[in-house]
Amino acid sequence: METEFEKSKPSGKGEQPIAVARRTPETSRDVNSDGTEASSQGSPNVTTYSAQSSIQNPSQLIRDIFVDFWLGRELAWRLFLRNIRGLYRQTLLGLFWAFLPPIANTAIWIFLRQANVFSMGDTQVDGTVYILTGMILWQAFIDAFQMPLAMFNKNRNLISKLNFPRESLLLVGVGEVLFDLLIRLLLLIPAFLIFEVPVHASVLYAPLAILGLVLIGASLGLLLMPIGSLYQDVGRFISMVLPFWMIITPIIYVPLTTFPGSLLNWVNPASPLLLLARDWLLIGTTDHLAIGLTFAAAAIPISLIALVVYRVSIPVLIERMTA
């Protein structure tokens, strides 16, 4: 079609445009140190969208992921504040809802133990504190595990209509998991006092194990997110197996040390770091250092893979949301 178009206007050089959405995927790009400001003239950012998989250039892809984490930090903080404020402005009991699940779960298991329904083994500290700590850590793990899919579903509208650093949603999600976890960990202060649990120096390393636990939970959840967002079966299946998963995780009992029961610790990704964190929080010494650190180390490549899967799958998922 022949088109005469000669309306090109002066390029408004006087006006330095303010940085707006800065999508820079798989191609030639020219992001400045802060990633957003365009250089005034000369080398403009060029973004190309094509059918090519961005994974064909893995180093660029990984770099893009981290750039987007950086660019998305302020958005993440805003969304985090929005969610927390929105949540507590509309509840009567506010933060109490963060405390409730581990207290309720602990109460149930303490009751069952006192009824001699099961035996815990030698916990070295008071059983109530042992179960409560386990419950808080377990809650953090499954919150992290369920976070990616929940985050995606909650923000479908935003994801399908705006192009922004989607990594920020993960920051928000992890932030919320850690926020809830911190509030719940406050429960341990009265528990330590009431049950006279001594505080060990190893409490200082415990955050490492806890972060590893959250990281591995979030990464595994992230790997499941693409399937889970397409097929609701996944979400249903997860909520069905969670109680069983909790039972095979040594929360309400001391881990099995004899073969084949000990094998469970190696196949259950929730176990090693939960055990390590709890030992560091309550006991001071641990038999789970090697396995815990192994899992913590494994969490790093797994999380990278999960981030790549998240990033490359989002355009496909948006297409299926709107097609």
Residues found near another protein in the complex (CB under 8 A): 1-13, 15, 17-23, 25, 36, 38, 44-53, 55-56, 71, 74-75, 78-79, 82, 85-86, 89-90, 157-158, 160-164, 226-227, 230-231, 308-309, 312-313, 315-320, 322-323
User: Dihedral angle at the C-alpha atoms of 266, 269, 270, 271, nearest 10 degrees?
Assistant: 10
Shortest reach from residue 235's CB to another protein, in Å: 14
For residues 78 and 236, which CB has a smaller minimum distance to another protein in the complex?
78
Shortest reach from residue 13's CB to another protein, in Å: 8
Shortest reach from residue 79's CB to another protein, in Å: 7
Reduce the DSSP state of residue 276 to 3 states and report it: helix
For residues 54 and 128, which CB has a smaller minimum distance to another protein in the complex?
54
For residues 224 and 296, which CB has a smaller minimum distance to another protein in the complex?
224
Shortest reach from residue 321's CB to another protein, in Å: 9
Q: Which residues contact 88 (CB under 8 A, 6 or more apart)?
A: 94, 95
Q: Is 12 left (phi over 0), alpha (psi -120 to 50) or beta?
A: left
For residues 90 and 119, which CB has a smaller minimum distance to another protein in the complex?
90
For residues 20 and 117, which CB has a smaller minimum distance to another protein in the complex?
20
For residues 120 and 230, which CB has a smaller minimum distance to another protein in the complex?
230
Shortest reach from residue 269's CB to another protein, in Å: 21
Other CB atoms within a 10 A radius of the CB of residue 74 amount to 11
Q: Is 3 left (phi over 0), alpha (psi -120 to 50) or beta?
A: beta
The CA distance from 54 to 254, in Å, is 46
Whether the Cβ atoms of residue 152 and residue 169 lie closer than 8 Å to each other? yes
The CA distance from 178 to 153, in Å, is 20
The CA distance from 225 to 155, in Å, is 13
Shortest reach from residue 241's CB to another protein, in Å: 21
